[in-house]
Amino acid sequence: MSENLNPFAIAQAQLDEAAAVLQLDPDMHAFLREPMREFHFTIPVKMDDGSTKTFQGFRVQYNDARGPAKGGIRFHPDETIDTVRALAAWMTWKTAVSDIPLGGGKGGIICNPRTMSPGELERLSRGYMRNIARYIGITQDVPAPDVNTHPQIMAWMLDEYEKLMGWHEPGVITGKPLPLGGSQGRTPATALGGLFTIREAAKARGLSLDGATCAIQGYGNVGSHAHQLAGQFGLNVVAVSDEFGAIYNPHGLDHKVVTDHLRRHGKVVDCPETEAINNAELLELNVDILIPAAIENQLTSQNAARIKAKIVAELANGPTTPEADNILNDKGVYIIPDFLCNAGGVIVSYFEMVQNGYQFYWDEAMVNERLDQKITTAFHAVHTMSQSKKVDTRVSAYLVAVDRVAEAVRLRGWV
């Protein structure tokens, strides 16, 4: 039977496995398998040529037992409600495993932002906010940037929200530009948090990172920053990729050279002093650390047996299918599960909300120090659970997170 690659079905299957280990009450399990609420809407946008195009948008508030829902907004031509549901579920577990007082949510619009002008993107962004404004806020749901969205889009959305409400509320959106209440350190936070977890995983496995080789799939904000910061942890990045292909140099890739080439040519392929390979070859390179930082379902039953990395650090959401998990765990690969590995972004988004709340802002060194403390504590909670329960790291991350969410649901008397 072929793998089920529906992301929400995968998220539910992962929860089911943890529920069995936790011996979760069946009523609680049933409640946690589904979003608490979701919104579907259409957004008419006046295009530059005078036509009006209608876009479909979503917002899912998966669970808010531990606090306001939190999660990004994605602009993607292949967006689906099941992807948004899955990501909202993973955000619920991500905030819980990080032990921050937030729930989980996610949003998206089916669109191709690369074909849209800045004016069209602004009108789309403001239209999205007009649809969700009554359902969000610092005590309800706090969106943020995600795939193909960025601080400028967050600025437009914040402005639209404040126009509708008639007051300033900078904490309603995170990932904002600094002049509008953004946080220092937010842009590289997801990558940096992932590297902190790689550091801790290497210690747990007795692996030195000094000169350890690393391949990064995906070269957007997260993958590029992971490359830029990797040297601080001793890692030698030998391969990176984007949607057009991958490049490899066994002696290492210089971040500045790659990003300069990407800026000039729009892709990493043909970067000087590199060999062109494809994404599949990158995943199967003989490296110490593999960082999937692109999209879901990249490590599957079809390629997992050929993965040679000692540590797989999931900076992407859902890059590994359950079947691949089993194969990699049997091979002794240490997987840092996505909602732990890439939690740095939401942790610093939480810091941004805190700073907005009392109108006092930290410098980047303090943000990074507090991120290190928070995500390192989360890593060790998961690792300790894995050792004590003798389960793999993904299941142990779910055990920590689901138990925390279930406790909040019970205390509220919902189930």
CB atoms within 10 A of CB 329: 17
Q: Is 40 helix (H, G, I), strand (E, B) or coil?
A: strand
* Token pair recorded at residue 71: 């999660």
If one counts every other C-beta atom within 10 angstroms of the C-beta of residue 348, the result is 29
Q: Which 3 state secondary structure label does DSSP give 9?
A: helix
Assess whether 106 carries a catalytic annotation: yes
Query: For 221, phi and psi rounded to 5 degrees?
Result: -55, -45
User: Which amino acid makes up residue 99?
Assistant: D
Do residues 214 and 288 touch, judged by C-beta distance below 8 A? yes
Q: What are phi and psi of 239, to 5 degrees?
A: -155, 140
Residue 205, token pair as written in the block: 């496995």
* Structural contact between residues 181 and 214, judged by C-beta atoms closer than 8 angstroms: no
CB 285 within 8 A of CB 239: yes
Q: How far is CA 121 from CA 116, 117, 153, 323, 376, in A?
A: 6, 6, 8, 38, 37
Query: What does the buried/exposed string (b/e) look like for 365-381 if buried means 16 or more CB atoms within 10 Å of the residue's CB?
Result: eebbebbbebbeebbeb
By the 8 A CB rule, do 405 and 104 touch? Answer: no
Q: Which of 46, 53, 94, 106 is catalytic?
A: 106
Q: How far apart are CA 32 and CA 26, in angstroms?
A: 10
Query: How many Cβ atoms are within 10 Å of 386's Cβ, its own excluded?
Result: 20
The burial of 254, by beta-carbon neighbours within 10 Å (0-12 exposed, 13-18 middle, 19 or more buried), is given as: middle
Catalytic residues: 106
